[in-house]
Structure 1
């Protein structure tokens, strides 16, 4: 066989792929040969467009021009010598290399041996047909334009970046100014010319404008912009005429080479002389800021006020102030308020501003505690004012409402607070306040629960009588108001060390709140106080039972009494939830009856110790927190999948492979079609006081409801943590407190459809939960190391450790979540990596392959 001397008709079908392949080879040769020339051209254009030649002397410009010319000449010669025009045969060879068996070369061959043999000729034709079929599938070959070997320092990229910067920040008109530096144009360069800039106020965020680049004769300029002009050439050839600055009196000459003024009004800007220009200037006025109250002030049970407000400005608000004044006309002037009030200045507090983000329009909340102020729980007026960077201010309409303060539900404490209010209202009320307090405390044995409170009352009365003989002074008024406030707080909160008494006080405060028509928020806080008091009481009973066992005392057997009943902490939780639900529904009579039943149960309660191989309190708490962490992880996964569906509505509802999360089953907690599901990983309550489940941890409903249920479950678990009073136990409680606050923030973000913010808060909650579990483990280890405690349990835990010294998995799981690496930096780094993976997986502009990989990582970890 021998190659054909000319083109074969069988190759006519390859004309288009062959032409495109050859064109690509030409482009490849051009880039490889002339990239140095293009690099020099781009660098020279960047320097000229940025005007760098105007900053140096003429000699330096000429020297640089010579170097550029030599560079252009050298790179052009090098490119011409390097360039090679690709031939048709080379294009065919490159195209043939991409096909199996090199069919193009086979089609170009001719049969030499056996041409006269019919059988051999038939085989040859079959071979040619097969090669022609392969060649018909030929596709153009992409050119190889990688220049990394030829340009190891990436000079071409540097030149491209410089040119891009010049295009954005420079001006193409500056290129022509280099001609003024030539010898023939020396006379022209000395002629009159000008340049100028418009610099808007910095707070507007607008860029500086070069006057020579403006097309047209109209200018829209922000109020307060500064205009700077420079005249070159013969003095007097160019003059300025303007009516935008509003300047009067002694003005600088119109022919000064440097002119600078501020735009304050509409008018005309004109440069008279050779090359002069005229503009009609319109000033864009800076609007004053606006502010308004967005809703009535709200108060917590402890008196903290929250006042929402909105503010806006065209360029951004820089600060604000809230002024609160007494609305004297709306005060019910009875009893101690009939006297003329002492003169007091209005309350002035700064308004909170957003830490980050745009301040052009925002909504914030003013949070302050005015419980101890004389105007607390009295009608006041709110006046808000804000300022912008230009010094302008805006003021809201006067808003009338009550100044929220702490509410006292104990009758005696409320009476003391009322007399304190009267004393602060007017110093003339001092004698009346003394008489009223004596009447209230006429029979101390009937109303005082604490001798300390009664003795403090007597001291206050004697001091008030002594100070009011010659007229109460302002400093004494403040002193007595502080003493009365401390007495009221003592009467309300109590100074009780006994857990049962604290429980009774919490129940009584809740009863008073129901009678006085407290708000839902106050009821929720008082219910939380009742839960904490109940947990303290149960812990005290548990410690008492343990001490009796250790001292050999006979403990009654709970199973011997046929009239006794067994209750777990989850049963108490359900009763409290039921009471709170009845109160929120307004069914106060039923709630009062349920509260009395709860009080009887708590006072008759006796804690029994577990028998046999039951779990300790610390183990139950650890398992409960682990379950809470798993549920929080699953909830975070559901929120993340909902966030993904906002960017990718066609997703398969989060049901693809690996959708369970690393904690097992939590990924299936709630479908994305809105049907509430129950997380598969939720532990079931075994009825013996385990803290892994319970009604408070119902995972049905929306993400926000599930987050709220999880927060309530964490509150319940916090009340049964061991290690109280130890550094490790306090550290665990602090960490769980941070986790609870992060859960509250996550719930609020979920209710506002801020999934990204909710995921961040959930990550903080999970990290705090892990820290709390580590601190709780340390507290349990400290208890086991104490002499005479935990011997049998410690031996059992030692047998359950793996060869690396870690505890084995609980609840029948294999392995442990405990990490080999310990330390703050390790966990901080792990959290940072997880947050970065979440951020990247939400970026829909990334390649699909990378997004799939990131989602697999999230499903795994």
Structure 2
């Protein structure tokens, strides 16, 4: 009822106020002529005063009795008033009580009355609705600048002296500078930029202004205009210059966008399986968008004999996308791994050019490298012949007749030379080649058949043996994950042993047949070797873990065993002594990998903390992701501890203690990352790195000592002291020396170099080439950053704690 009476009394005043605000916000007041404006403003003020007086005269306070009567009028029988009545005659008899009960029931149905101001008869022209629409439009499309202009116009017409006074108005102009999106730079609000301070903008930045009133004008010489609206000028920054608007000057330096630079590492290498490996580095001032390796046939360098003597069929260059990280791409280091063994240009001269593209499609290229395209090589004479015929067919279909003649010749008298199924396939290929014009699809299917036949001849039953071993590995892994019974797991373990023995025997036979000097390129390094005894030791360790109920560790070790069996060269156990010149130790190498990953994780955590401090963000998903990676590293370190040799020796126990400390530090770092405390996480990660280094030193000392003892034992076995019996130690006691006569080998067949401070794979990760100089460089960098006042206070406090500690 209060709202109804207020709306009826003051709706003219509200409508006038809405029209006035809308006229100011939408710029109607500033657009009126100076001669008309004061009269209209005066009339509006008089109308406002009259409407306010009218409203005050008509508005009446709502009394409680009026509210009860309003509510009672909505109920049948007016029960509220009836409940207050008293009987005139008869007293409070049963009939009267029944009447009151009926009224009480009717009163319980009372509900709040919906308000109804009934303004339509009072405002037949709907002026109130027009005022409401005008106010909404002003709130959406109006601005503070128009309001200020309208107030200044009113003040100027009323009293010219007031026009020069400082009224609370909005800015005369606003400006923005938006760098290109690929630069990942934020938009700059030019009104907040200090006058006289130079502004650096990347080339191609979009600069735009919005002018309020007629007194502002933009003058610039930094680039072409991109808009026609005089009240909203816009242009693109292409060259250094200045911008002037309403007496405000801004010197702009346009930063040129340098073209990306990409460099290839060493010449591509070929793995034993024919996969091409190419290292590369790329950099750009704002980031690489796309990187490719383009491979083109070097026709001039091809030995144009035999099937390559005729002109080749046209074939497009090969474009391989180089792997790029998801984050910062300003400096990229990566490696391309691609299997091009089936490509027609495999093992032929090609030119490889690396190409990088940035955000504005500038292109950088490396110098072309001339080399033979890495691919699989075949050493079986018949398989090599089939691969050469396949290459000739893919070179040109005009070689179909020559290929048919050679295939007919090599399949003559196949008994004992070619298997029946393979002979049938090759004879069918001869018929297809001699059947007339060869279509491209038929050519491709025939090339695939020749490839499969060559692989079958080259590998023999090796592929089938590998498939059986993989199937046994998968069945055992599935049984472990699904909680199979011990009998089922033991049966699957026996199947894996049999399949592994068959695979290693066949692989060893194949390696003996091949000339090692004609083996695929290895980049100047010897292949890693593992003996049958060491495979047996690793499988025994898997068996032990399963017997102890440590299924998770057994599954992890089984996965490592799977990868090892597919990637390593295997030799018979009787050739144990042939690997003594090799370097490396499985525990040391795995610890080196874990240490490297821990250092990378610590660096990422530090960069994440810098981003949070610089942007005022709170730790979120990035912290949880880093914590998950920290947990994975901790679990991997725990598995490595269970496989470390030297249990019971002083050095081995010292190494385990240090790795236990590293594990605890990793666990605390993980919790700190989840709690959003990057400073504590970085400190505990540094403790974990230090403990791992100490553990690697102890492990290296132990392996060096065991290697020396093995060499002494070998010398004693070759020339035993008088009175010493075979099978006795140098002290004369009986003992079993499993590593006597050969170096200390881990389950993967690698040995330690005897040093404790350099990782045996040649990577001085534990200490670096010059630890003292590295430490000095780090301290100098920490001091430099801690002295920069523009860095966040939290970061400088953290750097100060580092200086206090180290």
TM-score with structure 2 setting the length: 0.47
TM-score with structure 1 setting the length: 0.44
